[in-house]
Structure 1
């Protein structure tokens, strides 16, 4: 419950970064990228700056916060799972973005299945199993993750989107 109709610490429009304001007006998919083959310690992070490029082979690109726990765990990782979150899975996105409490860690939110590429979220709108390209580059302030798509699965649920600070489905 809140006593404020709007965010109480949000600066006025004219004091906000126009690039961030414009980016916020672009609907983005909500994904959680995970690493950790069965038997290894899993790690993951929420990414909405994602692009899937069809081709031979197809690739997926993602922009990752270089200060994230996933960035710290990347050295040595060769595979990842890109989980496309479904409507009703916003709590998972918040836990993996580390902006909501997740007692016991973010993998305690949702039901996770072991997959050779990394943990896979049950009930997701879909997922990709990818082989990560070594040595992520940079794009702006972010790490540019790049992976070759080895498996792709579409789930039965509608995807979750992020637009102007809110989740939509």
Structure 2
């Protein structure tokens, strides 16, 4: 067996999508979307998202239609959107299904039960949200999921935000 410094699943340069490469050059916040329905929890790391102020405010994210999160969120109609910080890189990888999480990623952290789903303890900012439609439009290979923001928790901003750019994490 040989250990390589390269990513084992990275396509050759000529085979990479130019749109994906364009998107990868955008610095994106790293969010953790979680939901729960009938005792089943699901979560997903989401970097393709935007927040719009208004009454109500909204979060729009691009979600894999085959993900456990979408299946659960569609039934629950509620979600927690947490913003991850520097200490949460392993958590982001586990919920992004690119790193192992023995017993599942929900065992990596403590959680608070809310009316919108499980909220991660130790994350400085999260929002309790409600699904706008069970049939969101497609956006490329994803679903353009829109949530209305019903509640926001803003703790002291002592944790620097985790950002994703060009396939890597960095901290601001």
TM-score calculated relative to the size of structure 2: 0.88
Q: Residue in 2 aligned with 1:89?
A: 88
Mapped contact 2:36–2:72 kept (Cα < 8 A):
no
SS of equivalent residue, structure 1 residue 92 = helix
Cα distance in structure 2, aligned partners of 1:80 and 1:69: 13
Query: Relative to structure 1, is the Cα distance of residues 55 and 13 closer, same or farther in structure 2, using a 3 angstrom cutoff?
Result: same
Please state whether the residue corresponding to 1:99 is helix, strand or coil: coil
Q: Distance in 2 between matches of 1:9 and 1:100?
A: 13
Residues 71-119 of structure 1: CA deviation (Å, up to 9, x unaligned): 2223321211001111110111111111111111110112211111111
Distance (Å, rounded) in 2 between the aligned partners of 1:165 and 1:83:
20
Distance 2:12 2:39 in 1: 45
Aligned position for 2:163? 161
Kept after mapping to 1: 8 A contact 2:35/2:116: yes
Counterpart in 2 of 1:24?
A: 24
CA apart distance, 1:9: 5.1
Which string of whole-angstrom CA distances, capped at 9 and with x for unpartnered residues, describes residues 28-78 of structure 1? Answer: 1111111127x7322111111010001111111011011111122233212
**Residue of structure 1 in register with 2:127 after alignment:** 128
- Give the TM-score, by structure 1 length: 0.89
CA distance in 1, matches of 2:8, 2:96: 21
Relative to structure 1, the CA distance from residue 98 to residue 5 in structure 2 (aligned partners, 3 Å threshold; closer, same or farther) is closer
Q: Which has the higher helix share?
A: 2
Corresponding residue for 2:79? 80
In structure 2, C-alpha distance between the alignment counterparts of 1:36 and 1:43, rounded to whole Å? 6
- Tell me the SS of whatever aligns to 2:164: strand
Structure 1 spans left out of the alignment, 5+ residues: none
Give the paired residue count: 167
C-alpha distance in 2, partners of 1:88/1:42? 22
Gaps of 5+ in 2: none
Provide the aligned C-alpha RMSD in A: 1.9
Q: Does 1:65 align with 2:64?
A: yes
Which sits farther off after the overlay, 65-74 or 157-166? 65-74
